[in-house]
């Protein structure tokens, strides 16, 4: 029987641990504040931002919401980020992506102070991770490490194959798995003989954005499958990048969609906010 990795339960445990830590900090007079900036009203972004604010309220982190119109100029957004950088009462800054096309995302990310970069997107945060120094780590890959550790899945010495090379998931994931002493391979859209590579994986992490792409033919017997995908299937039901029902009989552990990796991202964002004052 495969272990179904319960991301909802693990993320709730983490938020409860953080809530206690925040209560202790508050007793010492330390209050944590996260500034959440959204430009425009993309509906998916509004849902994410709403969930982040809710998680802050639960854990005891003060959140400041900046909801700016779509017409906000790059200069106006950079000026707000600079103001938040300089505000000693603000511990973390999160600018929800994607931004409207007339704003250079990289410029905005580079403007956020690395000391307040709770998303872990700043080049300094990414660089620190790659050379094993302290810094904020991107929330989804950090959440996957927690899922594995709290499920008792050993990482050291394992063959880990990651499909997807995004800056937010694939690349930082590879660095984290390397830090945990896995042997790491990154695959992407130009990888030849993908199945041959993925069948080597003891731990297969899938972040490609294609519904049910990974079937049992891609998977070794007894593998651990981490599904980062969030798609709609032919019946408009949420599903991952992995064909869950097809691979389930073959695997030793798997994350469901929904209820696997998804809830971990916000739990790790809360962790990064607490990290900013630790
Ligand atoms: N858009 C989708 N995911 C994320 C995230 O983790 N952080 C930010 N800032 N924007 C996002």
Per annotation, catalytic residue among 38, 116, 117, 119: 119
When pLDDT is averaged across residues 216-234 and rounded to a whole number, the result is: 97
Q: Are 248 and 170 part of one and the same domain?
A: yes
Q: Are residues 148 and 38 in the same domain?
A: no
Q: Whose CA is nearest to atom 2 of ligand 1?
A: 97
What's the structural domain count of the chain? 2
Task: Specify the pLDDT at position 242.
Answer: 98
Has residue 165 been placed in a domain? Answer: yes
161 shares a domain with 54? no
53, 148: one domain: no
For 62-105, what is each residue's pLDDT tens digit? 999 999 999 999 999 999 999 999 999 999 999 999 999 999 99
CATH number for the domain spanning 80: value is 3.40.50.10860
Q: Tens digit of pLDDT for each residue in 124-173?
A: 999 999 999 999 999 999 999 999 999 999 999 999 999 999 999 999 99
With contact defined as beta carbons under 8 Å apart, do 187 and 162 qualify?
yes
Whose alpha carbon is nearest atom 1 of ligand 1? 97
Report the pLDDT value the prediction gives residue 3, as an integer from 0 to 100.
98
- Mutation choice for ligand 1 from 40, 168, 265, CB with most ligand atoms inside 8 A: 168
Nearest ligand 1 atom to alpha carbon 138: 6
pLDDT of residue 58: 98
Give the residue numbers spanning the domain of 80: 30-114
Q: Considering the entire predicted model, what is its pTM?
A: 0.97
Q: Is 275 marked active-site?
A: no
In the prediction, which pLDDT does 268 show?
98
Is 103 in the same domain as 176? no
Which tens digit of pLDDT belongs to each residue from 25-40?
Answer: 999 999 999 999 999 9
Q: Is residue 199 part of a domain?
A: yes
Ligand 1 centroid distance, CA of 96 (Å): 5
249 and 159, same structural domain?
Answer: yes
User: Is 12 inside a domain boundary?
Assistant: no
Q: Name residues contacting ligand 1 (CB within 6 A).
A: 94-97, 119, 139, 265
Both 110 and 144 in one domain: the answer is no
Same domain, 245 and 143: yes
Does one domain contain both 172 and 227? yes
> Can 119 be counted among the known catalytic residues?
yes
Q: Is residue 256 included in any domain, yes or no? A: yes
Question: Using one digit for the tens of pLDDT, what is the confidence trace for 162-202?
Answer: 999 999 999 999 999 999 999 999 999 999 999 999 999 99
């Amino acid at each position: 029987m495969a272990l179904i990795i319960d991301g909802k339960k693990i993320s709730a445990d983490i938020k409860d641990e953080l809530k206690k830590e925040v209560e202790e900090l508050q007793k010492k007079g330390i209050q944590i504040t996260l500034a959440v900036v959204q430009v425009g009203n993309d509906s998916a972004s509004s849902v994410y931002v709403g969930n982040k604010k809710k998680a802050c309220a639960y854990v005891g982190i003060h959140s400041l919401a900046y909801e700016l119109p779509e017409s906000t100029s790059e200069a106006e957004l950079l000026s707000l980020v600079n103001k938040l950088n300089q505000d000693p009462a603000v511990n973390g800054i999160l600018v929800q992506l994607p931004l409207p096309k007339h704003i250079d995302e990289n410029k905005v990310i580079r403007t956020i102070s690395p000391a307040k970069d709770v998303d872990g997107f700043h080049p300094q945060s990414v660089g620190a991770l790659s050379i094993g120094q302290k810094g904020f780590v991107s929330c989804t890959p950090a959440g996957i490490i927690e899922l594995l550790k709290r499920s008792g899945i050993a990482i050291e010495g394992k063959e880990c194959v990651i499909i997807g090379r995004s800056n937010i998931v694939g690349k930082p994931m590879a660095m984290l798995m390397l830090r945990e002493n896995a042997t790491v391979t990154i695959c992407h859209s130009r990888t030849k003989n993908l199945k041959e590579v993925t069948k080597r994986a003891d731990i297969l992490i899938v972040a490609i954005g294609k519904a049910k792409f990974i079937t049992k033919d891609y998977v070794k017997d007894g593998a651990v499958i981490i599904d980062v995908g969030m798609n709609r299937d032919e019946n408009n039901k949420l599903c991952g990048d992995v064909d869950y029902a097809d691979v389930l009989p073959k695997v030793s552990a798997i994350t469901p969609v929904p209820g696997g990796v998804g809830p971990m991202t916000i739990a790790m964002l809360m962790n990064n906010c607490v990290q900013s004052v630790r």
